[in-house]
């Protein structure tokens, strides 16, 4: 549960980063940032100043905002131009960084006398370090994913389609309190890719039916109480060839190396290199075609980015994924991914508990 103390700490962190960017207030339009600052997910604008947080909400959202928000004042208004004019009045005399990237909205607010600057970095800087409530929720979300992989053991069989498995997993996830996230880069909430489809890291779910001899990549990204957990397991159906076992073993060792490297004080690039070196030494370098991982939280993908050359340093209580993979075009793919929390010292806390040994169904 989000407490008043947690919300005050979040506001303090955001104002600190906004101040470093030359602003003395912050205005959140995106629902992820509104939720982070208030506990309310919906149509509203959160205004954060050193004095407190105000939530400007349309009247149709007012009651819900009052019920779910924490440590903020809810100001009711009408939608459209009145919402913006009410917001502008709250930041009058201040310079506010904002996450609003809509040019027309920003210009309209400026005409109303509000000084706003598009700068999302203070929001992401504040959100990089997770508090106790966030870690607890992300952990629970990860355990829901573990339960779904256990369901995969019963549901994956010859003749079942990728789409049928997705429908079953989404149904079971929602029963357990999780929801599929929505993001513009895909038409499907999950990645379920059998056989040659598994060689596409972001494969769209199809009506292809699983066959014996398939490697099946199951990438589950789900939201629980606002927060994301992300994990991937790769199954074999019926049997795995020697080559499949070899590739799987390389990816497994790569992920182990990445997890060992994901310590506070290490750079994101060092974690990526730890994974990439194992795959390169095995001769599959050109088949690892994406970065090693990314931050998770209120967005599916958020900073920090575990990619080559990134000098950003991992800090305690960052939540990231470690997900190396090998993709052999038109044949099969293997990816293994966990959500983790960076510890103050030593190896990270791996949130996913489902086995990473090759499971042949």
pLDDT per residue as tens, the chain (361 positions) = 788 999 999 999 999 999 999 999 999 999 999 999 999 999 999 999 999 999 999 999 999 999 999 999 999 999 999 999 999 999 989 999 999 999 999 999 999 999 999 999 999 999 999 999 999 999 999 999 999 999 999 999 999 999 999 999 999 999 999 998 877 788 899 999 999 999 999 999 999 999 999 999 999 999 999 999 999 999 999 999 999 999 999 999 999 999 999 999 999 999 999 999 999 999 999 999 999 999 999 999 999 999 999 999 999 999 999 999 999 999 999 999 999 999 999 999 999 999 999 999 9
Calpha distance 328→269 (Å, rounded):
24
Question: Which domain, by its residues, includes 168?
Answer: 130-360
Q: How far is CA 151 from CA 84, 159, 198, 236, 351, in A?
A: 47, 17, 20, 15, 18
3-state secondary structure (DSSP) of residue 175: helix
CATH number, residue 50: 3.40.350.10
Query: H-type helices in 192-232, by residue range?
Result: none
**Does residue 329 share a domain with residue 222?**
yes
Query: H-type helices in the chain, by residue range?
Result: 4-20, 31-38, 59-68, 81-90, 103-111, 121-128, 132-155, 162-175, 242-261, 268-281
**Does residue 224 share a domain with residue 91?**
no
Domain boundary among 66, 96, 127: 127
Calpha distance 42→322 (Å, rounded):
31
Give residue 182's pLDDT: 75
**Does residue 318 share a domain with residue 176?**
yes
Q: How far is CA 347 from CA 273, 277, 278, 322, in A?
A: 17, 19, 18, 13
Structural domain total, the chain: 2
CATH number, residue 206: 3.90.230.10
Yes or no: say if 109 and 85 are a contact pair by the CB < 8 Å rule.
no
Domain boundary among 97, 127, 157: 127
170 contacts: CB under 8 Å, gap ≥ 6 = 180, 189, 190
Calpha distance 226→30 (Å, rounded):
13
210 contacts: CB under 8 Å, gap ≥ 6 = 156, 157, 158, 159, 160, 161, 162, 165, 194, 195, 216, 237
**Does residue 298 share a domain with residue 183?**
yes
**Does residue 193 share a domain with residue 113?**
no
**Does residue 217 share a domain with residue 79?**
no
Calpha distance 263→271 (Å, rounded):
9
**Does residue 214 share a domain with residue 258?**
yes
pTM: 0.96
**Does residue 118 share a domain with residue 211?**
no
Tokens matching residue 247: 């590739």
**Does residue 134 share a domain with residue 17?**
no
Domain boundary among 73, 97, 127: 127
**Does residue 153 share a domain with residue 111?**
no
Q: What angle do CA 236, 240, 243 make, to 5 degrees?
A: 125
Yes or no: say if 311 and 105 are a contact pair by the CB < 8 Å rule.
no
Give residue 161's pLDDT: 98
Radius of gyration of the chain (CA): 22
Tokens matching residue 330: 């038109």
**Does residue 168 share a domain with residue 157?**
yes
Calpha distance 92→83 (Å, rounded):
15
Yes or no: say if 85 and 76 are a contact pair by the CB < 8 Å rule.
no
**Does residue 291 share a domain with residue 340?**
yes
Calpha distance 323→328 (Å, rounded):
16
Give residue 268's pLDDT: 98
């Amino acid at each position: 549960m989000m407490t008043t103390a947690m919300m005050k700490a979040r506001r303090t962190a955001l104002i600190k980063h906004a101040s470093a960017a030359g602003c003395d207030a912050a205005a959140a339009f995106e629902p992820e940032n509104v939720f982070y600052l208030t506990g309310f997910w919906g149509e509203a604008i959160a205004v954060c100043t050193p004095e407190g947080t105000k939530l400007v909400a349309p009247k149709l959202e007012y009651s819900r905002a009052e019920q779910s928000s924490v440590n903020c004042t809810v100001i009711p208004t009408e939608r459209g131009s009145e919402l913006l004019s009410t917001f502008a009045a709250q930041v009058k005399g201040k310079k506010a960084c904002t996450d609003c990237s809509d040019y027309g909205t920003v210009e309209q607010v400026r005409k109303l006398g509000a000084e706003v600057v598009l700068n999302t970095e203070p929001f992401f800087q504040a959100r990089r370090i997770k508090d106790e409530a966030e870690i607890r929720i992300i952990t629970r979300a990860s355990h829901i994913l573990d339960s779904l992989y256990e369901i995969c053991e019963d549901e994956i069989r010859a003749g079942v389609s990728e789409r049928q498995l997705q429908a079953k997993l989404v149904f079971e996830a929602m029963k357990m309190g999780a929801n599929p996230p929505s993001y513009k880069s895909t038409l499907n909430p999950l990645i379920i890719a059998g056989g040659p489809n598994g060689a596409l890291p972001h494969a769209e779910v199809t009506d292809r039916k699983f066959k014996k001899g398939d490697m099946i990549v199951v990438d589950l990204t789900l939201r629980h109480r606002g927060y994301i957990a992300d994990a991937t397991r790769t199954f074999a159906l019926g049997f795995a060839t020697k080559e499949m076992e070899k590739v799987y073993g390389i990816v497994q060792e790569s992920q182990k190396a990445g997890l060992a490297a994901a310590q506070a004080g290490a750079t994101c690039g060092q974690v990526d290199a730890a994974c990439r070196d194992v795959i390169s030494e095995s001769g599959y370098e050109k088949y690892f075609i994406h970065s090693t991982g990314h931050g998770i939280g209120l967005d599916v993908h958020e900073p920090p980015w575990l990619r080559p050359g990134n000098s950003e340093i991992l800090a305690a209580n960052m939540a990231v994924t470690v997900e190396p993979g090998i993709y052999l075009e038109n044949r099969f793919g293997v990816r293994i991914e966990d959500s983790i929390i960076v510890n103050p010292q030593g190896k990270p806390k791996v949130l996913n508990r489902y086995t990473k040994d090759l499971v042949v169904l």
